[in-house]
Amino acid sequence: MSSLIAMALFAFVTSISPGPVNIVATSSGANFGFNKTLYHITGATIGFTSILLLLGVGAIEVFHENPEIMNYLSYIGAAFLLYMSYKIAFAPINKVNEENQATPPTILEGLLCQWLNPKAWIVAVSGVTVFSSNGENNTSSILLFSLVFFVVCFLSISVWAVMGVTIKKLLSHPEHYKLFNLIMGCILASTVIYLLIY
């Protein structure tokens, strides 16, 4: 029971903290509402859980033996996340109360936000290293850890999307939306640059 609580706390702290996936969720919530943001939330949750499962079945050894893979992943991920920040910052806005011409993030984009996010890989490698057991119970501990993370990750990203929906009430003019999108795009780009430097 104590290991389950530790898993849940680890999942919560790492999932609720600001990062690229949560910034995209907030922006999407503000621009498209919660229901249309569920695609991003679902894709990001599946993406992260699949990373955990992949590492749990042995891919973690590849990272331990070839640490340079993380460098390549960082650059590829940075390029994708900078593309997402551009897409957010310059999303087209129509008149208030008309349908937004931009499109919400898709399940695939949510998944790629995790797969190409260096923070996600660092958290996953750390989590699998700490919470997997050696020996026969490794599979069950990885499955339990992945299940806990699936639930906590989904709920945490949802919180950020709801914050975006709440912010939407303050965005009464197209100029407000443009400014909000520009700020969110810049925050995402800044996060990417920070992840590359540190």
pLDDT in tens, 39-69: 999 999 999 999 999 998 887 788 778 888 8
Sign for the pseudo-dihedral over CA of 30, 32, 38, 43? negative
Looking at residue 175, its pLDDT comes to 87
- Rounded to two decimals, what is the model's pTM? 0.85
Of the given ranges (44-58, 70-84, 88-102), which has the lowest mean pLDDT?
88-102
Among residues of the chain, what percentage have pLDDT more than 70?
93
The token duo for 47 is: 């993406």
* Plot region of 117 (φ>0 → left; ψ -120 to 50 → alpha; else → beta): beta
- Residue 96 DSSP symbol: T
Determine how many CB atoms are found less than 10 A away from the CB of residue 24: 31
- 100 or 2: whose pLDDT is higher? 2
Report residue 73's pLDDT band, with 50, 70 and 90 as the boundaries: confident
Looking at residue 97, its pLDDT comes to 44
Looking at residue 129, its pLDDT comes to 84
